[in-house]
């Protein structure tokens, strides 16, 4: 039986309600599983404040709580943390393809902010040969000329959700989901000042942060 996995990567520094809401929406949209993959060495952004061990532990705690609340199928995956190299999406997808059965469909999930710079990705021409691409529009109405990579992909690979779910790779969709606009940077600033963050990340994650004294002001 074919299984379709959605992949949501990020530093998860720390994981917050915006990440989890997106994961839940993906499960409800028809993806059989959602994998949250913490970056080891993110190539296009500031390096994480918390260690890989702590970030993975927080993601696992959040996923466990979701499962206990009835939302199974959202799991933490440490595939990028096992590699001491930049966390390029193509390299991660190659490893996943080696590990998973041949009847697994994969979709990489990004926000519209990342979509704007997808042409700068490492080995981007190989990407759609390995997976589909799901773009979550969160208010940015990006327009691309047909001469840009994004414009070409939209013209050649765009489809509907039902069709993408049946495809192993090579398709693209844009979903207009109004998700919670929460940033890990903002959450860290609240934590550093001991301000209320109870509504922005699960209680089990807050407890872990407190127990391990993470995100304190230097």
The first and second tokens of residue 18, run together, are 């915006």
For the chain, the domains span 3-181
Task: Name the average pLDDT for the chain.
Answer: 90
Mean pLDDT for 186-196 is: 70
For residue 20, the SS3 value is helix
Select the more confidently predicted residue: 112 or 26: 26
Distance in angstroms (rounded) separating the CA atoms of residues 60 and 77? 9
Over residues 62-91, the pLDDT tens digits come to 999 999 999 999 999 999 999 888 889 999
Residue among 190, 208, 214 at smallest CA distance from 58: 208
In this model, does residue 182 exceed pLDDT 80? no
pLDDT band at residue 195 under the 50/70/90 scheme: low
Confidence of residue 3 (pLDDT cuts 50, 70, 90): very high
Q: What residues contact residue 74 under an 8 Å CB cut-off, 6+ apart?
A: 20, 23, 24, 27, 33, 34, 36, 63, 66, 67
**Structure confidence by residue, pLDDT tens digits, 24-46:** 999 999 999 999 999 987 776 78
CATH class of the domain comprising 3-181: alpha beta
Q: How far apart are CA 115 and CA 194, in angstroms?
A: 34
**Residue 79's pLDDT is what?**
96
- Categorize the per-residue pLDDT at 206 as very low, low, confident or very high, splitting at 50, 70 and 90: very high
121-148 pLDDT, tens digit each: 999 999 999 999 999 987 666 677 778 9
């Amino acid at each position: 039986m074919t299984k379709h996995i959605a992949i949501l990567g990020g530093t998860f520094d720390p994981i917050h309600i915006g990440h989890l809401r997106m994961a839940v929406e993906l499960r409800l949209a028809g993806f059989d599983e959602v994998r949250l993959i913490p970056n080891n060495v993110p190539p296009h952004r500031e390096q994480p404040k918390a260690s890989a061990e702590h970030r993975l532990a927080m993601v696992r705690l959040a996923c466990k709580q979701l499962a206990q609340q009835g939302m199974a199928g959202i799991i933490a995956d440490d595939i990028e943390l096992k590699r001491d190299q930049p966390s390029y999406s193509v390299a991660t997808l190659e490893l996943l393809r080696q590990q998973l059965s041949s009847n697994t469909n994969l979709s990489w999930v990004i926000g519209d902010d990342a979509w704007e710079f997808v042409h700068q990705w490492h080995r981007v021409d190989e990407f759609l040969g390995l997976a589909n691409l799901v773009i979550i529009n969160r208010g940015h109405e990006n327009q691309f000329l047909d001469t840009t990579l994004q414009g070409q992909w939209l013209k050649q690979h765009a489809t509907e959700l039902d069709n993408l779910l049946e495809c192993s790779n090579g398709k693209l969709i844009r979903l207009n989901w109004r998700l919670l606009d929460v940033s890990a940077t903002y959450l860290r600033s609240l934590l550093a000042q001991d301000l209320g963050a109870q509504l922005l990340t699960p209680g089990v994650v807050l407890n872990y942060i407190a127990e391990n004294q993470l995100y304190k002001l230097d």
